[in-house]
Structure 1
C-alpha cells in the first residue's frame, strides 16, 4: 500500500513538473511576442513577468526601463506596457499627457502588431515544435490491416449498419494513414462514409449523417469504434473490488455471468449493464475458476488491459524537408480540430466539460517523455494562440478588435470605455477560470 501511494505521489509530481515547465515556456515566449515589437517601435515596457506578482514577487531585477521577474501566482504572465490599459488596471499614467514612448502615442498599425505578437509566436512555435517532433521522433500509425481483430462498435452506431469485428479500410473513399483516428475524424472532420470489411468477408460502404459529430456529442459516445482486444487483465488497481476478490495480472476472462466472451469489450459491455454482483470465469495457469465481484457504484471493478493493443503499430521517419511539410500539416489540423470542437463549449454539457489546471496537467504522461512533452506543448501553444484571439476585452483579441475599429472608422475608443471594457473582460475570465477549475474539483472528488 505504501509503495502504491509513493508511486501515485511521484506520478503527480512528474505530471505537475511537465505542466509547469510547459506553461512557463509558453508564457515567456508569448510575452516576448509582445515585448520585441514594443521595443522595436520604441515603446517603453515597464514589467516583464512570468506568473503574476500581486503584492510581491519571488524574483525581480530591473534592467534599463524594464523590471524582469517571477511572480507567485502561476495563472499566466504579462508585460506591462506604458500608456496601455491592461490587466494591471493602472490608469494613473493615463491622466497625464501622452508621452512619445507610450503605447497610446503609437500609430494604430504599430499597436496592432504589438498586440498580435503573442499569438503569432504561439502559432509559429506550435509549427516549429511539430516539425521538430516529426524530424526527431517520426510518426507512429496503424494501417487498416493492422487492426487484427477489427473494431468493437458502440450500440448507437450499429443502426448505421456497422457490426462488431468490422475492419475499417477507407474514410470518405480514401485509405487513412492511421485508421485509429476514425473517432476523431467522425467527431471533428466531417467524415460521412466508411468502407468496412465485415467478419463474414463482405465489403460495404456505410454512410453517416452529416452532423455525426453532433450526434456523438449529444449521446456522449465519443469513441463509437474501439480496437477489439483479448480479455486478458493487465492491471489490477490496489484496494479495488477486483483485488479484494483475488483477480491477478494475466488472468484471462472467458465468461461474464455465464455468458462466454472472446474480447475485452464484451466483458466491459456486460459489466456496465450489470445491476448486482458479477461472476467472472477466468483462466489462470491452465486452470479455470469462477470469481464473484461486487462492483463499485460506477459499475467498475478496478481492472484494465490497456497494454493488450490488438493492433500492429508501424513507424515512419521523416527527412528534415519532409518534416517541414508534415509538421505544418499537424499544426494546421490541430488548430482546425480545436476550432471545430470549440462550438460545443457553448452547450450546457460543454460548460460542465471545461477543464482547468488539473485537467490540463492530466494530459501529460505519468512518466517523463520528451516526445509527449513536446507534443502536448505544441498543442497547448496553438490552443493558447486561438484562445488569446477571442474578442474578449482582457485578452489580446479584445485589444485587436478595438484597434481594428479605430483603423476602420478613424475614431479611437475613449480611455474610460476601454477601462470599463477591460474590467468586464477580466471578470469574464475570472468566471471562466472559476468554472473550469471548479469542474476539476467536482470531478476529482466524484471520482
Structure 2
C-alpha cells in the first residue's frame, strides 16, 4: 500500500477519534446539567450530511467537510449563529439559562478530555513498550556533530558533552536536538571546562533550511574494522576484521571522525598504522586511496557491542501499571510545556518559526509511512495536546473564547450581551479562517517550492 494512503488513513482515524472525544467532553457535562444538545457531528455538515440519525432529541451525524466537528447546544452563541432561537425568551434547558460555573465546565470539557486522553495514551505507551534510550551522560568522548552547518550555528563541535538545556539535565541523547529547538540556553563540557551558550534566536529557521540533517547529533563510532570488501586495496595488507585502529601515520586516532582528516592528507600513500588485535598492539602498513579512504567498513555491529566496549550505555526502563501513571502524566505535561515554548517562538518573527506552521498536510506528515501502532498512538497523543492548547486560546469561536467571556462574567457579575457575543463569534470565525489559510498555505508553498 502506498505510504501516502497509509498516512492518510492514520490521519483520518486519529482525527476522527480526537474530534469525537473532544465533543464528548462538551456533550457529557451538558447532558449532566440537563442542557439540550441538538446536534453531535463528526466533521461539518455544510448543506448536507453523509449520515445522520436522531436519538433522544439529539441528531448524531457525520458531515462531509473534514475540518473538525461540533456539538450544537441549545441557547449558545456558536458557529451556527442561530439568531432566531437566541431572540426568544431563555428556556430552562438552554445553555444561557445555566449558572456560569456550569457553563464553564461544559466549555472546558473538550480541552480537558484532549489533555487527559494524551496522558492516558502516554500511560499505555510506557506500560506497553517501556522506554529505551542511549544515556547522554554515558557517552565516553562526547557527541558526534553530523551536520557542521547546524553545529556551527550552535557553536558546538564533535567531542562536546551536553550538560543541560535551560538548566535541565538531559537524559536521552535522542532528545537533544528536540530540546534545543525549544530551548533558550545550554551548557556543554569541552576539554574539561563547562561552557554556557545561548541557542540562536533563528535556530529553528536554520534547522528548517536543513531538514534532511535535523537529527544532527549522534554517538561517535570507533574505527574498528567490520568488513573488508574483496575489492578493497587493503584486502591483503594484514588488516583483519575486528582490528581497532589507534594510530595512522603517527597520529593517534580512535573514532571515524578522527580518521577522516588524517586519511585526506595522506591520499594515495602507504601509511604505517597501529591496531589493537586480541588485546595486543600490532603494527601494519595500509593503503590510502586517491579519495582518502581505506576501502573498508568500520564500526560496531550493535548497540549492545558499543555498550560492552564502554562507548555508551543503553538505558531500558520497564514500568508496572502503577509506575506508568506518573510517567505518562509527566510525559503529557512535558509535551504540553514544550509545545507552549514552541508557540512562543512562532509569535517571535526573529525566530523564523512561523515558516514551519503547517496545516493538514503537515499533521498528516507526522504519521509514519508504514503502519506502526506505537508511532500512531504517540502521534495521536501529541496531536491531542495540540488540540487542547489551540482550543483554549482566548479567540472567540474557540472554547477559550467562551471561557474568557465566562470568566469575565464570573468576576464582574455582568454577562456580555448576546449581540456582543454574536459579533465576537463572527470576528473569531474570520481569525480562524485566516489562521487556517495561513497554515495550509504554508503546506502548499513548501510543496511547490521545496
| Length-normalised TM-score, structure 1 | 0.75
Counterpart Cα distance in 1 of 2:293 and 2:153: 35
* Worse overlay, 158-167 or 339-348: 158-167
Report the Cα offset of residue 193 of structure 1. Answer: 1.2
* Worse overlay, 70-79 or 160-169: 160-169
- 1:53-76 CA distances to partner (integer Å, 9 max, x unpaired)? 000111111001100000000000
Equivalenced residues, count: 371
Unaligned runs of 5+ in 1: 1-8, 197-201, 231-260, 268-279, 288-306
- 1:362-408 CA distances to partner (integer Å, 9 max, x unpaired)? 00000001111111111111111111000000100000001111111
Provide closer, same or farther for how the CA distance between residues 324 and 191 of structure 1 changes in structure 2, counting only shifts above 3 A: farther
Say yes or no: does 1:208 pair with 2:197.
Answer: yes
- Counterpart of 1:275? none
Say yes or no: does 1:150 pair with 2:153.
Answer: no
- Counterpart of 1:351? 354
Counterpart Cα distance in 2 of 1:228 and 1:445: 35
Residues 114-193 of structure 1 correspond to what in structure 2 (within 5 A)?
114-144=106-136, 145=138, 150-152=143-145, 154=148, 157-158=151-152, 162-168=156-162, 176-193=170-187
Provide closer, same or farther for how the CA distance between residues 229 and 355 of structure 1 changes in structure 2, counting only shifts above 3 A: farther
Of 206, 218, 223, the match for 1:227: 218
Question: CA RMSD for the aligned pairs?
Answer: 3.2
Counterpart Cα distance in 2 of 1:138 and 1:10: 30
Unaligned runs of 5+ in 2: 222-254, 262-289, 307-311
Report the Cα offset of residue 190 of structure 1. Answer: 4.6
- Counterpart of 2:337? 336
Provide closer, same or farther for how the CA distance between residues 381 and 97 of structure 1 changes in structure 2, counting only shifts above 3 A: same
Of 391, 396, 399, the match for 2:399: 396
- Counterpart of 1:427? 430
Of 352, 372, 376, the match for 1:373: 376
Counterpart Cα distance in 1 of 2:358 and 2:432: 14
Counterpart Cα distance in 2 of 1:415 and 1:171: 48
Report the Cα offset of residue 262 of structure 1. Answer: 5.0
Report the Cα offset of residue 320 of structure 1. Answer: 1.1
Q: Which secondary structure state, in structure 1, belongs to the residue aligned with residue 2 of structure 2?
A: helix
Report the Cα offset of residue 101 of structure 1. Answer: 0.6
Counterpart Cα distance in 2 of 1:308 and 1:427: 54
Kept in 2: contact 1:45–1:66 (CA 8 A):
yes
* Worse overlay, 337-346 or 67-76: 337-346
Provide closer, same or farther for how the CA distance between residues 392 and 263 of structure 1 changes in structure 2, counting only shifts above 3 A: same
- Counterpart of 1:21? 13
Report the Cα offset of residue 226 of structure 1. Answer: 1.6
Q: Which secondary structure state, in structure 1, belongs to the residue aligned with residue 72 of structure 2?
A: strand
- 1:246-283 CA distances to partner (integer Å, 9 max, x unpaired)? xxxxxxxxxxxxxxx9569x99xxxxxxxxxxxx9598
Kept in 2: contact 1:169–1:179 (CA 8 A):
no
- Counterpart of 1:95? 87
| Length-normalised TM-score, structure 2 | 0.75
Counterpart Cα distance in 2 of 1:204 and 1:122: 45
Q: Which secondary structure state, in structure 2, belongs to the residue aligned with residue 93 of structure 1?
A: helix
Provide closer, same or farther for how the CA distance between residues 224 and 316 of structure 1 changes in structure 2, counting only shifts above 3 A: closer
Provide closer, same or farther for how the CA distance between residues 283 and 17 of structure 1 changes in structure 2, counting only shifts above 3 A: farther
Report the Cα offset of residue 317 of structure 1. Answer: 1.4
Report the Cα offset of residue 177 of structure 1. Answer: 2.2
Provide closer, same or farther for how the CA distance between residues 161 and 120 of structure 1 changes in structure 2, counting only shifts above 3 A: closer
Provide closer, same or farther for how the CA distance between residues 140 and 100 of structure 1 changes in structure 2, counting only shifts above 3 A: same
Kept in 2: contact 1:49–1:78 (CA 8 A):
yes
